[in-house]
Amino acid sequence: MRKTLEAIHGVLDKLMVLIHWVAGLLTGAFLMLTFVQVVLRYFFNSPIYGVDEYVIALMVWANALGFVVVYWHNEHAMIEFLISRVPAALKYVLYWITNLVVLAVSAVFIPAGYHLFTLQVVTTPRMGLPFPKAYYLALPMLVMGVLMVLLCSFRTIEYAVTRKDALMNSAPQEGVIQLD
């Protein structure tokens, strides 16, 4: 069972690297579009029609995917701050509570995202985008909910089986200075 969990963990780690890159590219794209739009609007008084909606679409997708990556690497600042400063016994309790809360909230995102998608997909595209708002307001919520339920369920099962304390710690990143 442990070997299987380690293999699945490796696959999910690779998936998170891919999602991290996609979220980074989306963030870079919306920042670049925002910069170009600001320059065109304020210096040339000639903004590009529809760019603001593209920025919103890219930003929503980047944030939804970024939230998944932050969860997988245990990098949520408040939870990290709280868990790193409590006794070991309370650390386990807090880990289980936060995991179950994240699982419950993420599970709510799936039907809510689907319901919102079905409502918005029938609307007429506006503001220069060739597709309705459902694809950049509701679909990211649905995708994030599915990914979070998958990751949180796996993380809960993995911790119950392996009892590895390393799962509760944030993943060290290359080139990042960590203060104790």
Average pLDDT, the chain: 83
For 124-173, the pLDDT digits (tens) are 766 666 677 777 888 899 999 999 999 999 988 888 887 766 555 555 55
Token readout for 120 is 């918005």
What is the 8-class DSSP label of residue 171?
P
Q: pTM of the entire structure? A: 0.80
SS (HEC) of 97-111: HHHHHHHHHHHHHHH
